[in-house]
């Protein structure tokens, strides 16, 4: 029997998929503890599973300024010079250090972390070798003739669906992510989310440059080498060059979900109204 920790975000669909995964682990004879920084304890306990609530951080308060350009530029320079201490301030305020300390006393044989929860991945690194990522996405890696998942492109249809058109779509995604990272770094004067994560990774001994891939589909980044469990069926995906560390374990449908049909229909209606006439891509 293994002691397994499953760390989830606050997104209902991801919580439900991980609840089914946890249920199957329990049936297989393992001990499972679910944890989150979000308020999902009621959903987890309703399924008869124990739950660990991570302490939440506090936002760093900044005063709004309406000075002239020269004063704003000087303030930016001063903040940039203090970027290291400001990154540390954000780490302390976010509760990341506390999160790592909460995990420390436990003897977990395996930790499953949602692939988009970068903070939790780094905090779990003290259990190096016993950490695996969980993904509910399809096609998050670049492969020949496979477009980025969020692009409205059908392979083989039109110029956009040609091999050259798909390569152009990946180049466009690369440039968009580069610009997003650069703009965030400038606006935060060197203390943006990625800079804070990089500082935290160094403190935790997480080999950031070795494992992090910045320009794949996922935000803020995806990972090399770390084991990945994909909660989907390989048959539903595009043909792809599957990374060696990835395994498709099949769809995880939580039949015991307490989310009612009316509530779900209401959420879907809100999404449709927000989208208007824009195409929706279900992933």
pLDDT 10s digits, 142-201: 777 788 877 888 888 888 989 899 899 989 988 998 998 899 999 888 888 888 988 988
pLDDT at 109: 83
Residue 281 has pLDDT above 70, yes or no: no
Residue 212 has pLDDT above 80, yes or no: yes
Residue 244 has pLDDT above 70, yes or no: yes
Looking at residues 1-13, what average pLDDT do you find? 85
Residue 21 has pLDDT above 80, yes or no: yes
pLDDT at 252: 80
Structure confidence at residue 105 as a pLDDT band (50, 70, 90): low
pLDDT 10s digits, 67-92: 666 677 778 788 888 888 888 888 88
Residue 258 near residue 43, CB atoms below 8 Å: yes
Mean pLDDT, the chain, integer: 80
Structure confidence at residue 256 as a pLDDT band (50, 70, 90): low
Residue 265 has pLDDT above 80, yes or no: no
Residue 100 near residue 121, CB atoms below 8 Å: no
Residue 57 has pLDDT above 70, yes or no: no
d(CA 261, CA 243): 37
Q: How far is CA 276 from CA 39, 279, 280, in A?
A: 30, 8, 10
Q: How many CB atoms lie within 10 A of CB 278?
A: 8
d(CA 152, CA 166): 11
Q: How many CA atoms lie within 13 A of 39 on its CB side?
A: 0
99 burial level (CB within 10 Å; 0-12, 13-18, 19+): buried
pLDDT at 183: 92
Residue 65 has pLDDT above 80, yes or no: no
Q: What is the dihedral of CA 143, 147, 148, 149, to 10 degrees?
A: -110
pTM of the model: 0.77
Residue 62 has pLDDT above 70, yes or no: no
Looking at residues 242-271, what average pLDDT do you find? 71
């Amino acid at each position: 029997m293994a002691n397994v920790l499953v760390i989830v975000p606050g997104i209902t669909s991801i919580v439900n998929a991980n609840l089914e995964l946890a249920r199957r682990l329990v049936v297989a004879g393992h001990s499972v503890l679910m944890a989150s920084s979000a308020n999902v304890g009621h959903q987890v306990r309703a399924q008869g599973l124990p739950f660990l609530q991570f302490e939440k951080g506090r936002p760093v308060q900044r005063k709004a300024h309406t000075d002239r350009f020269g004063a704003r530029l000087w303030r930016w320079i001063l903040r940039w010079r203090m970027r290291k201490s400001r990154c540390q301030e954000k780490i302390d305020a976010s509760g990341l250090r506390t999160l790592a300390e909460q995990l420390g006393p436990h003897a977990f044989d395996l930790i499953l972390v949602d692939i988009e929860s970068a903070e939790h991945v780094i905090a779990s690194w003290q259990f190096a070798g016993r950490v695996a990522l969980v993904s509910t996405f399809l096609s998050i890696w670049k492969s020949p003739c496979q477009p980025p998942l969020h692009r409205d492109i059908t392979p083989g249809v039109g110029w956009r669906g040609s091999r050259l058109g798909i390569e152009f779509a990946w180049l466009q995604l690369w440039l968009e992510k580069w610009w997003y990272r650069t703009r965030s770094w400038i606006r935060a004067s060197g203390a943006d989310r990625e800079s804070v994560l990089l500082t935290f990774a160094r403190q935790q001994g997480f080999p950031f440059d070795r494992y992090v891939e910045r320009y794949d589909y996922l935000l803020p980044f995806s990972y090399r080498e770390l084991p990945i469990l994909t909660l989907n069926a390989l048959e539903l995906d595009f043909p792809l060059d599957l990374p060696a560390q990835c395994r498709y374990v099949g769809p995880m449908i939580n039949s015991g979900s307490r989310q009612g049909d009316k509530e779900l229909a209401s959420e879907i209606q809100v999404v449709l109204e927000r989208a208007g006439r824009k195409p929706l891509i279900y992933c």
